A and B are shown apart, each in its own frame.
Chain A
């Protein structure tokens, strides 16, 4: 009997949904826009997170040793620095490798090629490339490298902290995020109002039916439920529609993003795929709760039973 009544409520809800099609459409559109902006927000978060991760990953300290320093000595320093808890990873590059990379990098520069040819032997020494676990660990590592005992061995140190890039990414993503949050909240508020209004109008268009239902002894929840179901229908459709539009958009944007962050390895579609259950689930639950509250408010106000 309960299942039967539930089924009939759902059927009444569907009928009313079609009867007020244009109104239902307006509700769906606004919910669609709401979720589009929310998904955009999620996308922005994912992009800026992985962009930051990519940039942070590029931060390192390169220590260039003088050519005469022996590999054994460098190895010693390497194991000494490598023992620091802050150091995540430390790589030795031999003079030969450095020369090869240098030539490769300047292969179009005739002057440099000429000079290299004139030089006897390898002018470059070995290099240690050091990465810390956290950005905040670098000052500590730098201090260790500045050890006076090493001063004579080291030709040059290079610490690129990319701080500027990181701040810039943070700034941009913060601004976009703020905008997206404001727009999302705005859409959510409009959605609440429209759902409320849609249910209100649905109640007015069914006035006759409602009074007859009361007359023949329909229970209160049976009279109310279709309106709640109807608003939840619109919510679910709008939410799924937004995802259906957002996904293809994502795969369109993905290559652009990849080239913009030039090689940085991140996969927005993959991110959404991995979190699909959570994203779809929370959005559906959210819109169901929101529409339930909003339509209940309209029913409480306009449907006296």
Chain B
């Protein structure tokens, strides 16, 4: 599903964020990416959604070589890869429903279809009864669930989560991780970037450890070892 082949990423003048990453993720996998701050985790995520382009190497997502993707094709890629971040990135002037619907609106989906899909996705993240609230009226965990709902709305093959629990307490974090596992069970490939040792250890899933822009460990059933 995801193939990073000998990826280098430099930020001029003198930062080398990634130096020769090789990473292959199969469809339906749940992979955690861990590593010290500055080891290049977010850079990998940004390369996967074509927010940045690799200096060297090849990236293939779902059979599509996005190494030299054209600007006009980036939107199409973003509809196939859902992504959530630590800071949720919600629109404060829109309700939960509208925030999720927004992703469909900008893609030219008709209103009737929006009205039928959004509640379904809100159901999955268990926010159906809070559809009319504004982000300020939600807890951090709920906000992140809105972001996940929005990321899922296009039925992506891959969900990238860059420290989704970074701003959350333990209980809320657990809720989010359980949700990601549930989404993975539906067949979506999930890539989780995290700092949380307990979470990684409890998952008992594949763990990729980055160190200074290179893969230092890749374990089938991994532990958080740094």
Residues of A at the B interface (CB closer than 8 Å) are 1-2, 4-5, 8, 208-209, 211-220, 222-223, 305
Query: Contact: B78 with A1, CB < 8 Å?
Result: no
Query: Contact: A218 with B75, CB < 8 Å?
Result: yes
- A4's closest neighbor in chain B, by CB? B108
Query: Contact: A217 with B91, CB < 8 Å?
Result: no
Query: Contact: A220 with B75, CB < 8 Å?
Result: yes
Q: Which of B77, B83, B90, B108 contacts A1 (CB 8 A)?
A: B108
Closest CB-CB distance, B52 to chain A, in whole Å? 12
Question: Looking at B83, B106, B153, which has the most chain A CB atoms within 10 Å of its CB?
Answer: B106
Query: Contact: A218 with B71, CB < 8 Å?
Result: no
Query: Contact: B71 with A220, CB < 8 Å?
Result: yes
Say whether B154 faces chain A, with CB atoms less than 8 Å apart. Answer: yes
Would you give the 0/1 interface string for B95-110, flagging 1 where the beta carbon is closer than 8 Å to chain A? Answer: 0000000110111101
Query: Contact: A219 with B91, CB < 8 Å?
Result: no
Q: Which of A212, A222, A223, A305 contacts B89 (CB 8 A)?
A: A212
Say whether B150 faces chain A, with CB atoms less than 8 Å apart. Answer: yes
20 contacts between A and B (CB under 8 A): A1-B108, A8-B106, A208-B89, A208-B91, A209-B91, A213-B102, A214-B78, A215-B83, A216-B79, A216-B106, A216-B153, A216-B154, A217-B77, A217-B103, A217-B106, A218-B106, A219-B106, A220-B71, A222-B106, A223-B106
Give Cα A213 to B79, complex, Å.
11
Given the known interface contacts A1-B108, A208-B91, the answer about A216 and B102 at a Cβ–Cβ threshold of 8 Å is yes
Give Cα A305 to B71, complex, Å.
8
Find chain A residues with CB under 8 A from B171 CB.
Answer: none
Closest CB-CB distance, B66 to chain A, in whole Å? 14
Closest CB-CB distance, A28 to chain B, in whole Å? 24
Would you give the 0/1 interface string for B146-163, flagging 1 where the beta carbon is closer than 8 Å to chain A? Answer: 000010011000000000
Closest CB-CB distance, A302 to chain B, in whole Å? 16
Find chain B residues with CB under 8 A from A212 CB.
Answer: 89-91, 102
Closest CB-CB distance, B94 to chain A, in whole Å? 9
Find chain B residues with CB under 8 A from A220 CB.
Answer: 71-72, 75
Say whether B226 faces chain A, with CB atoms less than 8 Å apart. Answer: no
Query: Contact: A216 with B150, CB < 8 Å?
Result: yes
Scan residues 91-147 of chain B and give those whose CB is less than 8 A from a CB of chain A.
91, 102-103, 105-108, 110
Given the known interface contacts A8-B106, A209-B91, A212-B102, the answer about A217 and B72 at a Cβ–Cβ threshold of 8 Å is no
Find chain B residues with CB under 8 A from A215 CB.
Answer: 49, 78, 83, 89
Q: How many A-B residue pairs have CB under 8 A?
A: 56
Closest CB-CB distance, A270 to chain B, in whole Å? 49
Give Cα A216 to B48, complex, Å.
14
Give Cα A185 to B95, complex, Å.
46
Query: Contact: A217 with B75, CB < 8 Å?
Result: yes
Q: Which of B71, B79, B110 contacts A217 (CB 8 A)?
A: B79
Query: Contact: A216 with B78, CB < 8 Å?
Result: yes
Closest CB-CB distance, B116 to chain A, in whole Å? 16
Query: Contact: A8 with B105, CB < 8 Å?
Result: yes
Query: Contact: A219 with B75, CB < 8 Å?
Result: yes
Query: Contact: A217 with B78, CB < 8 Å?
Result: yes
- A5's closest neighbor in chain B, by CB? B108
Closest CB-CB distance, B41 to chain A, in whole Å? 18
Query: Contact: B110 with A4, CB < 8 Å?
Result: yes
- B92's closest neighbor in chain A, by CB? A208
Would you give the 0/1 interface string for B57-87, flagging 1 where the beta carbon is closer than 8 Å to chain A? Answer: 0000000000000011011111100010000
Query: Contact: A216 with B91, CB < 8 Å?
Result: no
- A11's closest neighbor in chain B, by CB? B105
- A214's closest neighbor in chain B, by CB? B78
Give Cα A208 to B135, complex, Å.
14
- A304's closest neighbor in chain B, by CB? B71
Find chain B residues with CB under 8 A from A1 CB.
Answer: 108
Find chain A residues with CB under 8 A from B105 CB.
Answer: 8
Question: Looking at B74, B89, B108, B154, which has the most chain A CB atoms within 10 Å of its CB?
Answer: B108
Find chain B residues with CB under 8 A from A2 CB.
Answer: 108
Give Cα A217 to B76, complex, Å.
6
Find chain B residues with CB under 8 A from A209 CB.
Answer: 91
- A19's closest neighbor in chain B, by CB? B93
Give Cα A67 to B78, complex, Å.
101
Find chain A residues with CB under 8 A from B110 CB.
Answer: 4
Give Cα A220 to B107, complex, Å.
11
Query: Contact: A218 with B89, CB < 8 Å?
Result: no
Give Cα A223 to B78, complex, Å.
14
Find chain B residues with CB under 8 A from A218 CB.
Answer: 75, 106-107
Give Cα A211 to B89, complex, Å.
9
Closest CB-CB distance, B128 to chain A, in whole Å? 20
Find chain A residues with CB under 8 A from B154 CB.
Answer: 216-217
- B89's closest neighbor in chain A, by CB? A212
